[in-house]
Amino acid sequence: MKYQSQKVALYYFGGALALFVVQVLVGTLAGTIYVVPNLLADVIPFNIVRMIHTNALIVWLLMGFFGCAYYLIPEEAETELHSPGLAILQFWLFLAGALAAVVGYLFHIHVGREFLEQPLWIKLAIVVVALMFLYNITLTVLKGRKTAITNVLLLGLWGIAVFFLFSLYNPSNLILDKMFWWWVVHLWVEGVWELVMASVLAFLMIKMTGVDREVVEKWLYVIIALALFSGILGTGHHYYWIGTPAYWQWIGSIFSTFEVLPFFAMVIFTFTMVWKGGRNHPNKAALLWSLGCSVFAFFGAGVWGFLHTLAPINYYTHGTQVTAAHGHLAFYGAYVMVNIAMFTYAMPQLLGRAPYNQVLNMVGFWVTSAAMAFMTFALTFAGVVQVHLQRVLGMTYMDVQDQVSLFYWFRLGAGVFVVLGVLMIVWSLVVPGARTREAVGYAPAE
Amino acid sequence: MSETLTKAAARNIFYGGTVFFFVIFVGLVAQSVSSAKTIARANPITPSVAAGKQVWEKHACIDCHTLLGEGAYFAPELGNVWVRFGGRQDPVAAREGLRAWFAAQPSHVEGRRQMPQFHMSAKDVDNLIDFLKWTSEIPTQNWPPKVSG
């Protein structure tokens, strides 16, 4: 850490990790309701549980991105943050808004579009928080050094804010509602979020491998070009069956097939950089998370996305557990892991320590990743059986669900291990122990 | 990576290409918006359909069910529930069937997923049914493959 104001990132990392625990606990509850359906049915219906699970995920990932930006931007721009006080105020506002939303959900205060269940006043508060954030980081970049990493990160973060505005548009025509709902959901996770992910990975590669910035930044532009060239028109794979014209089947199939490429490029990029750099960076855990991120994103977002993206296949798989399998592994691989990679790298720096609890952190990595992989397989098998019974043979939905209940037990088992792994990761990050950097004679690599 | 591609070239390709593809995307979406409006002109969104959509959202139905394949996967697809209840053959009976279904929840059957009792007014129920009927008439390229949803 070179700039005092980077410390504001600690608030965001802490808040994100707390919500991460909430997210996986509530996810486990949802997985339990799948196999013990009467559980809590009269107290907290499944829709509320699911709402909290997905919203907690989205909020903690965004909180993590904010933290990543506050850590990364002063160091890249080589200047203190424009206003650390505003950043801290922004954190508390965001956390208060998130908690108010969750408590409200428990009392059935919500609106009703998937992932966008926040009442209008919370959506507007999110816009205010986003403006505070963008003002702060944009002014910081403008007064400092401009690098490809800060350019791409800023573009991604501005994109997040701009596309969120479409959440305020809710026409009574369901076709239009769905079309523009995807302008938030798809253009986030298969668009501008990839810019954030790629720029954070590029930053970590520069810091940890010692490869020349010129090389890393060229890779960065190639990766994000692949991401947006495929991802923008790849939105078409959500426009197959919602009342939109048939040409989307061609456009969506072709372009979303190419959405595998940026994730493949990220695998090649991270492994090549680590191999070429040859530097023995002391933070092994952060390196593991960075490499793991590109690999799991490739499988979760890339391969599992491609599995059901072609229109003739999606005709049968659309809205089944195949989608759930892809959703879980994609979010984990791409966005959970990039956040944990950055937290693992940055927290020792922010706390002025040598990398700590690395073994526990890496055990947490393997437990969580193996459990997420197992969960994905379980849901994929459930989905394939569901597709055959329901979409080919025409059995009714509930009869099919009884047939696949074994896979839901497997999923729940995997979920319990995810919780264990996440607790290890969180413990390893937030309980640094007593040994300081000076005590072990640690000199930062960079 | 190849020496022939410089960082500045990669950056320019990124910005130029992104603008190019985004412009195409916006053009196609504009065409699809006009197509969606044509659909709504042929099959008007009445005040009760619009109100029914709000009932649908008020109770966050999407966080258990799917609608045209989008939503949670905990409960049946409802884009064609009107068809499944026989609304095309006998709209009166389908409406009665749906009303009775809402009124009977939750089933409290042990080991079966529970739909909450939402205590909807008769008007809300009728509006919601109108919305589900309208949704079942959206031309979805013949999705879902089976009436089971």
Distance from the Cα of B102 to chain A's closest Cα (Å) equals 15
Distance from the Cα of A310 to chain B's closest Cα (Å) equals 15
Residue of A51, A214, A390 lying closest to B63 (CB–CB): A51
C-alpha A286/C-alpha A345 separation (Å) is 5
pLDDT at B52: 98
Distance from the Cα of A1 to chain B's closest Cα (Å) equals 27
**B32 to chain A: nearest residue by CA?**
A244
Q: Is B58 in the same domain as B129? A: yes
Q: Is B105 in the same domain as B133? A: yes
Q: Determine whether the interchain pair B70/A178 forms a contact, defined as Cβ–Cβ distance below 8 Å.
A: yes
Contact A403, A389 (CB under 8 A): yes
Residue of B14, B63, B147 lying closest to A221 (CB–CB): B14
Contact A382, A408 (CB under 8 A): yes
CB contact set of A253 (below 8 Å; sequence gap of 6+): A236, A237, A309, A310, A311
Q: Is B68 in the same domain as B106? A: yes
**A54 to chain B: nearest residue by CA?**
B63
C-alpha B68/C-alpha B80 separation (Å) is 8
The string of pLDDT tens digits covering residues B109-119 is: 999 999 999 99
**A109 to chain B: nearest residue by CA?**
B58
- The structure tokens listed for B10 are 């990669």
Length of chain B: 149
Which residues of A are less than 8 Å from B17 in CB distance?
225, 228-229
Q: Is B87 in the same domain as B100? A: yes
- The structure tokens listed for A255 are 């372009």
Return the residue in B23, B32, B35, B84 with the most chain A beta carbons within 10 A, the one to mutate for interface testing: B32
Q: Is B78 in the same domain as B130? A: yes
Using DSSP's 3-state secondary structure scheme, residue B145 falls into: coil
Q: Is B16 in the same domain as B34? A: yes
Residue of B36, B63, B110 lying closest to A173 (CB–CB): B36
Q: How many domains does chain B have?
A: 2
Is pLDDT of B62 > 60?
yes
Q: Determine whether the interchain pair A394/B148 forms a contact, defined as Cβ–Cβ distance below 8 Å.
A: yes
Q: Long-range contacts: A249-255, Cβ < 8 Å, 24+?
A: A249/A311, A249/B141, A250/A311, A251/B28, A252/A309, A252/A311, A253/A309, A253/A310, A253/A311, A255/A230, A255/A231
A259 phi, psi to nearest 5 deg: -65, -15
User: What is the crossing angle of helices A213-234 and B7-42, to 10°?
Assistant: 10
User: What is the crossing angle of helices A120-143 and A46-77, to 10°?
Assistant: 10
Return the residue in A34, A242, A271 with the most chain B beta carbons within 10 A, the one to mutate for interface testing: A242
pLDDT at A1: 79
CB atoms near residue A446 (< 10 Å): 11
Interface subset of A 143-162, CB within 8 angstroms of B: 148
Inter-CA distances, A30 with A200, A208, A412, B64, Å: 31, 38, 9, 11
Residues linked to residue B71 through DSSP beta bridges, in sequence order: B66
Q: Is B60 in the same domain as B118? A: yes
B84 phi, psi to nearest 5 deg: -65, -35
The string of pLDDT tens digits covering residues A27-39 is: 999 999 999 999 9
Q: Determine whether the interchain pair A318/B113 forms a contact, defined as Cβ–Cβ distance below 8 Å.
A: no
**A46 to chain B: nearest residue by CA?**
B64
Domain harbouring B88, CATH code: 1.10.760.10
Inter-CA distances, A28 with A45, A324, A361, A382, Å: 14, 14, 21, 17
A186 contact B CB<8A: no
Q: Is B12 in the same domain as B73? A: no
Q: If you average pLDDT over every residue of chain B, what do you get?
A: 97
Which residues of B are less than 8 Å from A113 in CB distance?
57, 62
Residue of A34, A174, A395 lying closest to B148 (CB–CB): A395
Residues linked to residue B67 through DSSP beta bridges, in sequence order: B70
Q: Is B62 in the same domain as B125? A: yes
Alpha helices, DSSP H only, in A298-440? 304-307, 311-317, 321-330, 337-350, 358-386, 397-403, 405-430, 437-440
Contact A77, A141 (CB under 8 A): yes
Q: If you average pLDDT over every residue of chain A, what do you get?
A: 96
Contact A305, A238 (CB under 8 A): no
CB contact set of A98 (below 8 Å; sequence gap of 6+): A19, A55, A56, A59, A63
Taking phi over 0 as left and psi of -120 to 50 as alpha, with beta for the rest, A178 belongs to alpha
Residue of A50, A110, A228 lying closest to B21 (CB–CB): A228
pLDDT at A404: 97
The string of pLDDT tens digits covering residues B136-147 is: 999 999 999 999
Instruction: Supply the DSSP string of A173-205, one letter for each residue.
Output: SHHHHHHHHHHHHHHIIIIIHHHHHHHHHHHHH
Residue of A148, A179, A323 lying closest to B29 (CB–CB): A179
Exposure class string for B66-104: b at 16+ Cβ within 10 A, else e: bbbbbbbbbbbbbbbbbbbbebeeeeeebbebbbeebee
- Residue A62 CB burial class (10 angstroms; 0-12, 13-18, ≥19): buried
Q: Determine whether the interchain pair B40/A114 forms a contact, defined as Cβ–Cβ distance below 8 Å.
A: no
Choose among A65, A55, A66: nearest CA to A91: A66
C-alpha B76/C-alpha B147 separation (Å) is 11
Which residues of B are less than 8 Å from A379 in CB distance?
none
* Amino acid symbol at A32: T
CB atoms near residue A155 (< 10 Å): 19
Residue of A112, A243, A248 lying closest to B56 (CB–CB): A112
Is pLDDT of B82 > 80?
yes
CA A142 to chain centre: 27
Q: Determine whether the interchain pair B32/A398 forms a contact, defined as Cβ–Cβ distance below 8 Å.
A: no
- Dmax over CA atoms of chain B, in Å, equals 72
Choose among B78, B59, B76, B58: nearest CA to B68: B78
* Amino acid symbol at A318: H
Q: Which residue carries 């896979």 as its tokens?
A: A407
Residue of B29, B71, B76 lying closest to A114 (CB–CB): B71
Q: Is B56 in the same domain as B103? A: yes
A22 contact B CB<8A: no
Spans of chain A below 70 pLDDT: 435-446
Which residues of A are less than 8 Å from B116 in CB distance?
41-42, 45, 47
Q: Determine whether the interchain pair A45/B116 forms a contact, defined as Cβ–Cβ distance below 8 Å.
A: yes
Return the residue in A178, A218, A323 with the most chain B beta carbons within 10 A, the one to mutate for interface testing: A218
Residue of B1, B10, B33 lying closest to A225 (CB–CB): B10
Which residues of B are less than 8 Å from A33 in CB distance?
74
Alpha helices, DSSP H only, in chain B? 7-42, 47-58, 81-84, 91-104, 122-136
Q: Determine whether the interchain pair A46/B13 forms a contact, defined as Cβ–Cβ distance below 8 Å.
A: no
pLDDT at A443: 53
pLDDT at A290: 98
Domain holding B33, by residue range, is 1-42
Task: Give the domains, in start order, of chain A with CATH numbers.
Answer: 4-433 (1.20.210.10)
Is pLDDT of B23 > 70?
yes
Contact B81, B68 (CB under 8 A): no
Q: Is B142 in the same domain as B85? A: yes
ipTM: 0.97
pLDDT at A439: 54
Contact A195, A220 (CB under 8 A): no
Is pLDDT of B100 > 70?
yes
C-alpha A327/C-alpha A323 separation (Å) is 6
Q: Is B56 in the same domain as B74? A: yes
